[in-house]
Structure 1
């Protein structure tokens, strides 16, 4: 099964262009890996979902960590959700679909969302947890993991991502990023098995 091909839509193509323009290579590859992790998990667990919505959310979910879209007051996931809502309006999505996109992006940093409640948010959470901290990567076939990292190398992802999260936490001490840093999460990021040799 192909977990790497994006949906064939104008919004999907535009989302990729946006991240290519505004995200560093390590962030672009993380976003692309997130989509592939999500698709692989959906196939394994038979989670029905909206593929276009998932792809656009995966591609745009960390835009709030980039300099052009960072907010001095809002947590990065909320800032990114606002950017995504504006993007979706430009792509011709109606208000309800724009709201869904924003909701999926915000929820990816919140408490676990069951697939039955919100399949796209659930899939993005599983994907981001796998890619960022290695949570559950052993549940994915080694062949898939190898192809994923060959297609979208990590390019120093852990160090770069942690630096952005620490900056968010320092400037916005009440945000979800700050909460994560009190849990030992940073050690899981730096110890992610995806970054180990071999």
Structure 2
């Protein structure tokens, strides 16, 4: 398994998602988003789900799943994943996606913060949830080949992710205590970031 096994979709929506991620997010958060996409694609292969995946939708959702945390897109009344999902809806509307597919990208972004997602219910939501679980909390680090983990980490280093995301989610939890950010903080996400086994593969 190599990065080259997972080509970036050559579409207006994919290019737009990458542009928004790079222009609005920090390098560490954008690298997290790209790694999350690659982990999701790799999990799809490992779990035999690759043929069931809308790969363009998964890419867009992965690149934008945390964009609701940046100042320009932060919403003071709703969860950051919900706000980010609406950014993805706006982007994909401009790319010509129909209403049903736009709803799907919003759902996938929101569900990445669910405790778990059944792949039979939402395959892309499942993949993004377990991918971000690996990159943030260190869940299932042995599920993907070690050589692939190292290749991705070399190409897209973790940098200051632990510090940045900890500060971000603590802020979100304090301002929006009824959202998933509060559950993440209460579940020890700050400690999990620091102890993530991927940090030791740098």
Q: TM-score range by the shorter chain?
A: over 0.9
Task: Choose which of 190, 194, 197 in structure 1 pairs with 2:198.
Answer: 194
Task: Choose which of 122, 125, 128 in structure 1 pairs with 2:126.
Answer: 122
Partner of 1:166: 170
Task: Choose which of 160, 176, 182 in structure 1 pairs with 2:180.
Answer: 176
How many equivalent residue pairs?
198
Q: Is the 8 A contact 1:84 1:102 kept in 2?
A: yes
Q: CA offsets per residue over residues 43-96 of structure 1, 9 Å max, x none? A: 011112110000000001110011110111111001111111111111111111
* Aligned partner of residue 75 in structure 2, secondary structure: coil
Q: Is the 8 A contact 1:81 1:105 kept in 2?
A: yes
1:88 paired to 2:92: yes
Q: Which runs of 5+ in 2 are unaligned?
A: none
Offset, 1:159:
0.9
Task: Choose which of 9, 12, 34 in structure 2 pairs with 1:10.
Answer: 12
CA distance in 2, matches of 1:109, 1:75: 10
Partner of 1:137: 141
Partner of 1:56: 60
Q: CA offsets per residue over residues 14-45 of structure 1, 9 Å max, x none? A: 11111111111001100100010001100011
Partner of 1:43: 45
Offset, 1:124:
0.2
RMSD of equivalent CA atoms: 1.2
Q: Is the 8 A contact 1:85 1:98 kept in 2?
A: yes
Offset, 1:100:
0.4
CA distance in 2, matches of 1:153, 1:111: 26
Using the size of structure 1 for normalisation, the TM-score is 0.96
